[in-house]
Structure 1
Amino acid sequence: MAIEIRPVTRDEATEYLRVLPYVNGFPQEEPEASAWYAGSAAWPPQVPRTAADLERYAEEMQADWFRPQAAFVDGKIAGGSAIVSVQLTVPGGQQVALGGVTSTAVLPTYRRRGLLRKIMAAMLDDCRERGEFLAGLSASEGTIYGRYGFSPATFQHRWEVRRTDVAFRTEFTDPGGLELVDGAVAAELWPVLHEQVRAVRVGEISPLPGKWDGLAGGGLPADGSGPAHHLVHRDAGGAVDGAAIFRLPWSPDPERAGVLQVEAFEALTSDAYRALWELLLDFDLTKQVVAARRPVDEALRWMLTNPRALKLTRTRDNLWLCILDVRRALEVRTYAATDSLVLDVHGSGRWRLDAAPDGATCKAVDEDADVSLTVNELGSLYLGGVRASELASAGRVAEHAPGALSRLDALLRPDRAPHNAVGF
């Protein structure tokens, strides 16, 4: 058996695509309910793509931001994956290059031969060669990617609330206004709004080209969830400072009827946030609201007279990170305190981190470590969404100097939990 790992040529693009679950109709998510989806199913159904779809996808693969790798076994493509070039906002607001792993699969008849490990090694080497010192992915299965150095760094909640249970603690007069717009208008507004959001949100990701193009087309989705409706908030000066996409799917089951599904929601101001949720939670002829892809520190709960009205129904890890260059990764972000710690990152050496709110320096040292961990744990800690003391309680981080874990937690603590509403 001859194995070769290399990029895919244009002539091989269709063969590469047939390996991928979203093309061949094989499962692409573990059969568990996902916080990414506001519907009642675990995930919308997969339908094999047509020859015309394959040809269109093959053309799109030629973009310079999409870098596919394939495993050839005796000359035939048996597995594949790709890196997409995106930007990640890190603490301090810097937007850094992230190699995003996507479109990953090995054909069932070629499993357990180490093909994915070889593909992943080639892709991470490609990231390093291009100067991308962070790699990221959203895991289809929770047991696969830890072996390659990835670990969860952001998380998402799915919650639901009955309309009759909603009451806000305080009165509110909106200085701006709400507007329902069509898909074409929404497709123009969302890219601008997202750019403003990701400039200030740790963990947010730049969208892939064409991310919102489909909004303009309208039409009914194949999963039966109903057409998208677009709600926009404008401030007193008329500028858009918030938006939501929601659906009102029909159901023959009275238990599932009258559910408003919030598919996307962004707000730049507290006024926009409150105004959008007030309408969505009191929409005529509905009885329940379900929202997915929500940050773990959702403020809405604390606006309600009964915080239990907002029921958390799913939690899901979202962005997994792999630190490819410890020094560069630790130096590019800022910190919540001023301190100096020596970190022993197994396999990468010992590093003295001299950190402060305005930046940091990191250098290799031969000194006693204050804390030891692997690159996996560093990936989870990097954006501040996971505490070192939490991982230490699980036996995954070791403290060698008294108080070092608390000091590391204080350094990494963000103002808000990291969150990415956009994936790849």
Structure 2
Amino acid sequence: MVTQVRPPRRDEMNAYYRALPFANGLPQWEPADAAWHGGPEPWPPQRTRATAEQLEEWAEADVKNESFHPVATFVDGACVGASATISFDVTVPGGGTVKMAGVTSTAVIATHRRRGYLRRMMQAMFEAALERGEPLAMLSASEGSIYGRFGYSPATYRTRWELNRHEAALLPAAPDPGSLELVDAAQARKAWPTVHAQVRAHRVGELTPLPGRWDRLSDDPDGTNGPLRYLVHRDRHGDVDGIANFRLPWSSTAANAGTLVVEALEATNPAAYRALWSVLVDFDLTKTIVAPARPRDEPLRWMLANPRAMRVTRQSDNLWARVLDVPLALTQRSYGAPGELVFTVETDRMCPANNRTWLLHADGASATCVATDREADLTITVPALSSLYFGGISAHDLAYAGHITPHSDSAIGQLARLFRIDTEPHNSFGF
């Protein structure tokens, strides 16, 4: 038996896709309530099996895409496993961006699981990412128990919340200096990149969009869901500073009738944010507002006369992070306070260059991270460091769970002061 882990050739791309669940209409997520889905069911219906024409279209697009890096496992010439990374920039604390390998569409076919093929593909992707100068890898974990053993750990979260229209009264505020407008898909396609770029510059965890990210926005109905609608906010100069995509899906049951689903909403300032929500939470002939894939710290809650009215109905981790190069990653973000920390990484089997004691010196917006012989303040696992990297996870909780071992009474407090940020990291779309 001959086993190879390598990028597929162009003539092997159809077989590569056939190893992936989405190409075969098979489940690709654990059967749990999905926090990014606005419908009442846990998960949207499965796709049908991809046609030969679709496979060819995907292959042509992916071969030309310099940011797409596929890898596959071949056993005696047959493709039995597949994965890929997509090169992104991700916003980190301080507002800078870091090159990141986004792991996507990963699977081993059912007849060849439990043989180490996933680990070998992950190792190959890590090594390729490091060669490209990408010190981070991130993914959405289809099952929570799989990816921790490769060094990943949750870094961002998302919530799905509901609000009854009759409970959605907003607190009084100053008049809106701008204006609102319902627009068509063509106008929305123009507005989204501008708004997203401004939001991404200040939101930790947000990603650079792939080319064509909003090209598929349409005014056409989507089955019984009805078409997407688009609401934009303009500032007093007439420039778009906020946008929302929403729909009014049809329902066969009285319990779910009259629901307005906000599928995406971004604003560059509080006035635009409040104005968009003021329309969406009081839309005629509706009774329930559902917003999936929202940040855990949604400011709208604090604009409501009754903050308790916003009910979180689903919550899940979103992107998991994995530090591939400790000193490169840590010197590309800023820290909440100046200071020093000496820490040891011991158990990184897949990126062994990380296994040593490091001195992190932070001075506001800049930092250095170098190997040292000094006594460590703490020992930390790579998954814990990866969760802390984006600033949204508690150092105290990770230490309490055994992922961090302090060697002094002040170590965890210093770690928390350096890494923690406000607001929590969030990313608005997956990959």
Other-structure match for 1:421? 428
CA contact (8 A) 2:388 2:420 kept: no
- For 2:79, the aligned partner's letter is I
- For 1:274, the aligned partner's letter is R
Instruction: Specify the SS of the correspondent of 2:331.
Output: helix
How far residue 169 of structure 1 moved from its aligned partner, in angstroms, is 2.0
- For 2:73, the aligned partner's letter is A
Task: Tell me, in whole angstroms, the C-alpha distance in 2 between the residues paired with 1:172 and 1:24.
Answer: 53
CA contact (8 A) 2:219 2:229 kept: no
Other-structure match for 1:351? 358
Other-structure match for 2:253? 253
Other-structure match for 1:404? 411
Other-structure match for 2:350? none
Task: Tell me, in whole angstroms, the C-alpha distance in 2 between the residues paired with 1:87 and 1:298.
Answer: 24
Other-structure match for 2:367? 360
Task: Tell me, in whole angstroms, the C-alpha distance in 2 between the residues paired with 1:415 and 1:253.
Answer: 41
Other-structure match for 1:375? 382
Moved more, 38-47 or 97-106: 38-47
Q: Cα deviations across residues 366-386 of structure 1 (Å, max 9, x unaligned)?
A: 222112111110000001000
CA contact (8 A) 1:260 1:289 kept: yes
Q: Aligned pair 1:226/2:226, yes or no?
A: yes
Q: Aligned pair 1:54/2:55, yes or no?
A: yes
Q: TM-score, normalised by structure 1?
A: 0.98
Q: Unaligned stretches of 5+ in structure 1?
A: none
In percent, how many aligned pairs have the same letter? 53
How far residue 171 of structure 1 moved from its aligned partner, in angstroms, is 3.6
CA contact (8 A) 1:206 1:422 kept: no
Other-structure match for 1:303? 303
CA contact (8 A) 1:66 1:84 kept: yes
Counterparts in 2 of 1:2-41, with a 5 A limit? 2-41=2-41
- For 1:259, the aligned partner's letter is T
- For 2:266, the aligned partner's letter is E
Other-structure match for 1:149? 151
Q: Unaligned stretches of 5+ in structure 2?
A: 348-354
Counterparts in 2 of 1:143-222, with a 5 A limit? 143-215=145-217, 217-222=218-223
Counterparts in 2 of 1:98-137, with a 5 A limit? 98-137=100-139
How far residue 32 of structure 1 moved from its aligned partner, in angstroms, is 0.3
Runs of 4+ that moved beyond 3 A: none
Other-structure match for 2:69? 67
Other-structure match for 2:341? 341
CA contact (8 A) 2:331 2:367 kept: yes
Other-structure match for 1:395? 402
- For 2:27, the aligned partner's letter is P
How far residue 38 of structure 1 moved from its aligned partner, in angstroms, is 1.2
Q: Cα deviations across residues 313-339 of structure 1 (Å, max 9, x unaligned)?
A: 111111111101100111111111011
Q: CA RMSD in A?
A: 1.1
Task: Tell me, in whole angstroms, the C-alpha distance in 1 between the residues paired with 2:297 and 2:379.
Answer: 29
Task: Tell me, in whole angstroms, the C-alpha distance in 2 between the residues paired with 1:322 and 1:214.
Answer: 31
Other-structure match for 2:291? 291
Moved more, 153-162 or 388-397: 388-397
- For 2:416, the aligned partner's letter is D
- For 2:60, the aligned partner's letter is E
- For 2:415, the aligned partner's letter is L
How far residue 236 of structure 1 moved from its aligned partner, in angstroms, is 0.6
How far residue 415 of structure 1 moved from its aligned partner, in angstroms, is 2.7
Q: Aligned pair 1:92/2:94, yes or no?
A: yes
Instruction: Specify the SS of the correspondent of 1:366.
Output: coil
Q: TM-score, normalised by structure 2?
A: 0.96
Task: Tell me, in whole angstroms, the C-alpha distance in 1 between the residues paired with 2:408 and 2:237.
Answer: 54
Task: Tell me, in whole angstroms, the C-alpha distance in 2 between the residues paired with 1:117 and 1:173.
Answer: 56
Instruction: Specify the SS of the correspondent of 1:158.
Output: strand
Task: Tell me, in whole angstroms, the C-alpha distance in 2 between the residues paired with 1:15 and 1:313.
Answer: 39
Task: Tell me, in whole angstroms, the C-alpha distance in 1 between the residues paired with 2:314 and 2:200.
Answer: 24
- For 1:195, the aligned partner's letter is A
